[in-house]
Structures are given as structure tokens and as C-alpha cells.
A and B are shown apart, each in its own frame.
Chain A
């Protein structure tokens, strides 16, 4: 056999597999076109198109302002409730849509899964990237809101990319776990729908961590920080609204747990992926 040829050996799977970054790189064009597809078809045949990216968090903002800001009188650390909730809703909406789509990615693409080979990790990771487009559009609306409420963002905005990375790792990590489980156990679909609702109220979207710290103390705050969305959302508020100091403690703890979630998700996914085509 000539040496210049690509040699490929197909053998029965053996346990845990590392992530094949070389292969993922070879398929970067596919990645690009799948992300592009997801973005392109998202608002096809809608009247408002990409305006929905702003409208969804915006409408939630109005609802939350009424229910939690006015009726329930939830504390918003001294900033107007609409902007307090919108700044949290932007990362939250990204997280929940990326997570839901990612966790269902194998089931919705099961046709592709059983017909063609490419690195399976492409499936759950595609929505994590594709939903960034919505995120950016919704994010671009924040300056207008700040202008309207005459709020000056702090210099900490430079840390927002870091927060976005933590957010993406969390969505991707949970997405890989749930996708790998969901292809075999379709219960995951229903569980995820319910869980994202629960996760929203668990995240400081409609309320502020300040109140929680007051009740649970510093240790309780750090344990809560294991939920990566806590540090991310509070970080957004701190950077854009200056209502609280940058919550580095939450970000550090949350970042670590996001990293663990991401790596474990990738390994679990790689371990299970050999069976995907058989159970799909």
C-alpha cells in the first residue's frame, strides 16, 4: 500500500474517546454551512424576520416589568426594572434557545445521522454558534435602552466576551449531555422543556443575586454561583448597568463549573456517539 494515501481503520469502539480536533478542523466548512443554514432558515416566511430576535426578550421584558417589577415589587438593585430584566433576558434567551436546539439536534437531524458520516459533535455545537446571531441582534438593542434610561455602561464591558464564552460553554456542555441522552431516551425532550423554565427562575433573570446573598450568606452565594448563569447574568448587569460590582466570585465558580460541564459533556457524547445511528 502506498504511504501517501489516507489510511482509515474501522474497528469496534473501545470506551472513552478523546475529542478529535484534527477531524473537526477538517470539517470546518461543513460547520460553517450548517450554522449558516440554521441562521438562514430561522425566520424564513416570517413577516418580522430578525426583529423577532429583539421582540422575544423585549416582550418578556414588558411582561416581567409588569408582573415582577410592578405587581410583585421585586428589587432590581436600584435600576429601572425594564432595563434590569432586558439585560438579563438577552443572555438567558440565547442560553435557553441554544440549549433546547442543541439537546434536540440529534433527533431533528436523525436522517442525516443515519445517512452520512461526519464528526457527530457538529450537531450539538451548531446551534450554540447559530443562536449567537440572535444574541448579537438582541444585544445591539441594549445601547438604545441604556440611552433611553440614561444609564452609562461601565468600563467592565470589556469582560463581556469572557461572559459569552462561559455562556457558550454551558449551553454546549449541557447540550452535548442532553443530545447524547435524548437520541436514546426521548423523555429528554419533555424534561428539557420543563427544565428550561425551571432554570430561568433559578437564574437571576427576574430577580437579583443581592437579595439572595443577604439571605444565604457568602458561602450560599458561592454554592449558587456553581450555576454558571448566575455569574454571567450578574456580570452583564454589572458591566452594562453598574448596579453591582463585577461578581468575580460568581464568575470564577461558574466558569469552572461551565468548563467541567463542557468537558464532561464532550467526553460523554464521544462515548455514546458510536451508538447514535443504531438507536436513532
Chain B
């Protein structure tokens, strides 16, 4: 089956953003403006939906411009990009929430879109009533909900409270219930936006698993997310949007890598010209890179790969004694730090590289930021270099059975994921 499920042609969407309020110097001008305000307000409010055809006003932005792509039936496409790149607008146009200004979209198959979970949930209604309400809002018929009701309740894990008003639920329970309804939609095309950004980590993983089932079941999925591991795991292909334009379309690993490189204006490698390199006159940091065993710079790596972090620097003053260190940050914490075991004297001027080997099966899945420092702490304490967020890379787990996961595919906590040996004893 290679039918096209989603066809987007030259899609454009124009928005008007609010113009900055004018400021007045004198009381008189202020009064005049106040008297005129109904007229200016009317023009402004009317302008939200009406556009004059002549020229481009300064307060008009194109949230999407000339976006074209196709998605084949059964394909999962990731949509990534910075905030304001047009991802959500694209999803809103595809979901028919807002109409396009130019171009057109062809969708072949029943479409369901999930821009948030629990749309229309009413706190006063019970879990049961909300399942029916929310289900029908998402486009299910009563008969469909009747049929899936038990499954929805079981998946959410709130069986005991199904006849309790939702306002008595914890926020986690509410999200679980809401997601369960959404997860049981059976569209041919599913459009999802960031819904995974809610709920606890464990439930997020469960949802991801469920979505993988959806994608695996031959359904077409369009997935907008900031969660790069999720994108690479769920989608074979991804598109990258920037300022409303589609700037990259390809295998999701490549697109994610390119996005990460761009997002932090760096990637898994960074280098500096000598005149702007961080450091002091005695010593300058010139490059930092992450390479795999084939010495290729990689920004998306597998947990099963052995890596090397290479710190390049130029010593201008011979005889300097110091050591290099690196810190690896993920999930908002420092996963670990590593330092050269001794402070060594570099006798000669010139370029050096300090290389640290990162064994396979150490890092967990997710995005890592690496900070680098070069310092001496014996005698005179000097920090020659102290740079945070120098490079960034992404770790993925292909779940081949060879990683620390073994054949376990569910939630896996931790900022590191060592592959440890297990044994069993019997009393």
C-alpha cells in the first residue's frame, strides 16, 4: 500500500499579530486617543479576520508559507521545529480548526486530531460521563464509545472512580482518563500535538507505546513534538519547519540531528576561530566534538555505541599545568562529571586534544548537553575555560534486545543506563 494519505500543497497561513500600543506624551494626546479608541479598537478587532489586499502590513506574519509535503498511508511523520516555527499552525490547518490562506490539503481517510487531551472535560461530570462527552467531541459515535468503554476505563486505571466527578480526581488521574479516551480513537489519520507533554513520565511512556501501536497498525500519523527521542522512535520520517517554511524533509534521525545542531547553534561538534575562542591568553579552547568508533561526528547515537568526547585546545604559554573536565547534563540534572585523573604539564606550545572514552551502555535515552572546563586546582587555582552547553547530542535506544533494557520495552527511569549483570540464586 503506497497510497497517499496526506497531501499538502503550497500551504500558507497568514496571521495578524497585535500592533504595539501607541504611547502618548501629553495628557491632551492621551485624552484624544482615548476618545478615538472605539474607532481604533474597531479597526484592530476587525483586522483580526479581515486583510486588505494591498501590500504587506507590518503586523502581518505568515505562520506557514509554501509548505508542501505528502505522507503515505501507514507512514508516521514527525514535525519538528522551534517554538513559533509553524508546527501548531500546520496541525490546526490540517485539523480544520483554522482555514489556510493559500494552498490546499487533501486528506484521504477518517481524520482525528489530538491537540490536547481532555478537551471539553467538565469537572462536575463523572469519569463515565466525561468519557462519553470527550469521546464524542473527538468524533466518536455513541456506539463506538459503548463498544470501547471497558477498554478505555481499564487503560486509564481509574476503574474505582469512574462514577466520581472528575473534579475530585488528581491531575494525573484526569490526564490518564483523558488520554485513554484519545488513545482509543480509531482514525485512519491521526494528528497529534505535544499531548505527551502532560502526565507523569511513566504514563508518557505508556502513551508512547500505545501510539507506536497506532503507527504500527498501518495508520497514518502526523506527530508534532519537542520530544526528540519520541520523534526518532515513532517516526521514520520527519520534516523541519522554520519561520513557517519547510526547510528539511528526510529520515527522522537526520532531521532531528540537523534541528539539534541548529537549535543550540551547535551540535555534536563545535569549533572556534582563535580570535574568538573561549579561554585566556595562555590557553584557548578550540574545539569540542563527539565522535563514534569510526571517528565520525555524530549527534544522534545509540545507547549501544561507544563514543569519544574530544576536547581540543591551544596552549600559548609552554609549561602550563592543568586538567580537562566535562559534565554531562540530561533531564535537567548533571548525570555525571568526568575529569582527567591528574594535572599534567604541557611543555610545548601548540594544539592538544584530550580525549575521553564513553563506554557503550552508560547513557540513557534522551538529550545530553555537555559542558567543558579546563582548570588547575593545585597551588594556584585557575579556570582557563568554563563553558556550559558546548555541544548537544541525542541518545536513542533501538530496543534491539542488546541494550540495558533487554527485552523490556516499557518505562525506564534514570539519567544513566548501565548494562549490569544479573544473576539468580535459590535458597
Q: A residues within 8 Å of B by Cβ?
A: 1-2, 5-13, 27, 29-30, 32-34, 36-37, 40-41, 44-45, 111-118, 184-185, 272, 274-275, 277-279
Contact = CB atoms under 8 A, between A and B. Distances in A.
A41 B115 contact: no
B100 A116 contact: no
Contacts of A32: 136, 142
Given A5-B188, A7-B106, A277 B98 contact: yes
A29 B97 contact: no
B110 A13 contact: no
Given A117-B95, A117-B96, A30 B137 contact: yes
Contact of A8 (B103, B106, B115): B106
B141 A29 contact: yes
A41 B3 CA distance: 46
Contacts of A40: 124-125, 129
A1 B4 contact: yes
Contacts of A111: 119
B333 to A, nearest CB: 33
21 contacts: A6-B110, A8-B108, A9-B105, A9-B107, A10-B93, A10-B99, A10-B106, A11-B99, A13-B99, A32-B136, A36-B129, A37-B125, A40-B124, A41-B124, A112-B120, A114-B115, A115-B119, A116-B119, A116-B137, A274-B99, A278-B48
Given A10-B93, A116-B95, A184-B49, A30 B136 contact: yes
A113 B103 CA distance: 23
B119 A112 contact: yes
A29 to B, nearest CB: 5
Contact of A7 (B15, B107, B119, B142): B107
Q: Which of A10, A34, A44 has the most CB of B within 10 A?
A: A10
A12 B108 contact: no
B102 interface: yes
A220 to B, nearest CB: 35
A29 B142 contact: yes
Given A6-B109, A116-B95, 14 more contacts: A2-B3, A5-B108, A7-B106, A7-B107, A10-B105, A12-B100, A12-B103, A12-B104, A37-B125, A44-B124, A117-B96, A185-B42, A272-B49, A279-B49
Given A7-B106, A10-B107, A112-B119, A1 B3 contact: yes
Contacts of A112: 119-120, 137
Nearest to B96: A117
A115 B97 contact: yes
B97 A277 contact: yes
Contacts of B140: 29
A11 B48 contact: no
Interface string B34-45: 000000001001
A199 to B, nearest CB: 24
B403 interface: no
B109 A5 contact: yes
A115 B3 CA distance: 28
A114 B48 contact: no
Contact of B108 (A6, A10, A29): A6
B99 A12 contact: yes
A10 B96 contact: yes
Contact of B49 (A27, A37, A113, A275): A275
Interface in B1-41: 3-4, 15
Given A1-B4, A117-B97, A8 B116 contact: no
B132 interface: yes
Nearest to B115: A115
Contacts of B93: 10
User: Top 9 A-B pairs ranked by shortest CB distance?
Assistant: A275-B49, A10-B105, A30-B136, A117-B96, A8-B107, A277-B98, A44-B124, A279-B48, A41-B124
Most buried by B among A112, A113, A117: A117
A115 B182 CA distance: 13
B45 A184 contact: yes
Contacts of A5: 108-109, 188
A9 B125 CA distance: 36
B48 A184 contact: yes
Contacts of A30: 136-137, 139
B125 A116 contact: no
Contact of A185 (B45, B95, B116): B45
Contacts of A279: 45, 48-49
A20 to B, nearest CB: 12
Of A2, A5, A274, the most chain B CB neighbours within 10 A belong to: A5
A277 B92 contact: yes
B108 to A, nearest CB: 5
Contacts of A6: 108-110
Interface string B73-92: 00000000000000000001
B5 to A, nearest CB: 9
A12 B46 CA distance: 19
B120 A275 contact: no
A27 to B, nearest CB: 8
Given A115-B116, A116-B113, A118-B137, A12 B102 contact: yes
Contacts of B243: none
A117 B140 CA distance: 12
Contacts of B106: 7-10
A198 B116 CA distance: 41
B124 A8 contact: no
Nearest to A185: B45
Nearest to B145: A29
A10 B137 contact: no
B188 A10 contact: no
A8 B111 contact: yes
Contacts of B110: 6
B138 interface: yes
A184 B92 CA distance: 19
A170 B46 CA distance: 27
A33 B132 contact: yes
B238 interface: no
B104 A10 contact: yes
B241 interface: no
B395 interface: no
Given A12-B100, A184-B45, A37 B108 contact: no
B92 A118 contact: no
Nearest to B107: A8
B269 interface: no
